[in-house]
Each structure stands twice: as structure tokens, then as C-alpha cells.
Structure 1
Amino acid sequence: MLHAAGLIDPAGFSTVPFLPLGIPEFIANALWSAVFGVLMAWLLRVAPDRSSPWIGALVFGGIVLTAVGAFVIDPARGIWPAGNMLPRLAPGFIANAIWGWGALVFMRAFIASSESH
């Protein structure tokens, strides 16, 4: 939907090689999502007996994933932060915040409860 609205360039499931690894972008995105999902679950202490940190998931996704993309992944690809980055980072922040919320939804849905049924 973001691609159709003209807010982001790439369409979903891109098979363009992800630099510097050289694997298709959609596989690299899945691997990075898994790494960040585990990190988020650990940092936010996601557990069945705790309340869900919805705001923390939105903030983690929006800030951490956007910062890593802008200051780690992009420089590894040769794209350096410069000038007014807000127009480039704002759609990524929104998409990544939604990723954080969605990841928490799935974590809570599939996490094992300690109660016996």
C-alpha cells in the first residue's frame, strides 16, 4: 500500500540482491526481522504473565529499526546520512513502528501460557 501510494520506492518481495550480503532483499528482510524480533522480545521482556508493552513495541520498531537502517545498513550500501533526512526517514519510521506493533501481536498470539487448560 505504501508503494502504491508513492511513499516508498520498492514493491514487496524484491529479489534484488541485498548489499553487502548478496541475498535477495526479501530474505534479508526476513532474517533482520527475526533478529530484531528476538531483541525486542528480550528488551521489552515479552512474556505471557506480563502486560503487553504496546507503546514500547511501537517506539522500538520506529526508532531502533529506522536508526539501524539509516546509520548502519545504508552506509554499508554506500548511502550516507546527509541533509534533511526527515522526508526519507518519516515513512520508514511509520512502517517500522507498525512492524514493532505487529511483531508484538504475533509474539503474544503464539507465546505459550503457563496456565493449564
Structure 2
Amino acid sequence: MQKVILPFVSGFLAALFFREATLALLHAAGVIDPAGYSTAPFLPLGIPEFIANALWSSVFGVLMAWLLRIAPDRSAPWIGALVFGGIVLTAASVFVVGPARGIWPSGNMLPRLAIGFVTNAMWGWGALVFMRAFMAETAGERARDNRSGRRAP
């Protein structure tokens, strides 16, 4: 259960607190036009775009946790999370979600890919932050493991 629900929740929260916040900060700095937390309806569902993005990010959070083998007893793959978020989420947005909505890759894609990479890399980092926080062992669990002879991380 911990291997699916916690990464799912982590991906959702990372989209809200890291990806969308990065978009809002880039907008406030004058780098991009669209601000974060877009409430435009995501067709065909009709829910706000930032909620739809967070739901998709939840699914990718589970995939990232599985591919990077994220667990409390292993060291955190910080670089892997940044690269996974930046490349996989950006590629999915440009080549899967966009065409499904009628937005085809064309013209100069570099600005769209660069902004996508930065914001989605921040999502990957944020998802890992939440996963590590949710999956962290408590002091009581460490003490129990030490008594049973298991080596603590």
C-alpha cells in the first residue's frame, strides 16, 4: 500500500507546491506569460487545469517511485528525480497530452521544452521530498530495528 498511495499523494502535492509554484515564480519574474494555478477548464473533463495536471502528476509519482526504487532504507536519488521529472513529464506533456488535446508539436519548441523541463524537474525534486518525508522511519521504528539486530540507515 505504501508503494502506491504515498507516491500518488506525493506526486499530487509536488504538482501543487513545486511545479505550479515554479510557474508562478517564473511568471512573477517576467520570464513566462502563463501564471501557475490555471483555472481554465481542462477539456474534456472540465476541471481546472492545475488539478488535472496534479492528477496526471500523481500517476507519474507512482511510476517514478517504482523506476527509481525509492525506499526509506535507500539513499535518495535526487539527480534521478530531477531528470525523471524534467524529461519524462515534459515528453509526456508535449507528445501525449498535448496531441490528445489538439496541441501538436510544431515550430520552435525550445522555449516550451525549456520551461517544461525546469518546472517538471522541480516537480520531480518535490515529489522525492514528499516521498522521503512520508516514508521516513520514526525514531521508535529505528529503536525496534536496532534491538532486533537490523542495521539502521
Given the two structures, how large is their TM-score scaled by the length of structure 2?
A: 0.70
The alignment of Structure 1 onto Structure 2 pairs a total of residues equal to 117
Residue of structure 2 aligned with 1:24, choices 48, 53, 69? 48
Structure 1 unaligned spans of 5+: none
TM-score when normalising by structure 1: 0.90
Q: Percent identity?
A: 80
Which of 82, 88, 102 aligns to 1:64? It is: 88
Residue 101 of structure 1 is matched in structure 2 by 125
Higher-Rg member (1/2): 2
Aligned 1:83-98 pairs, distance under 5 A:
83-98=107-122
1:47 to 47, 60, 71: 71
Residue of 21, 31, 46 corresponding to 1:7: 31
Distance 1:85 1:116 in 2: 53
What runs of 5+ residues in structure 2 fail to find an aligned partner?
1-24, 145-153
Q: Which structure's residues are more often helix, by fraction?
A: 2
Please tell me the residue identity of whatever aligns with 1:111.
M
Separation (CA, whole Å) in 2 of partners of 1:65 and 1:9: 20
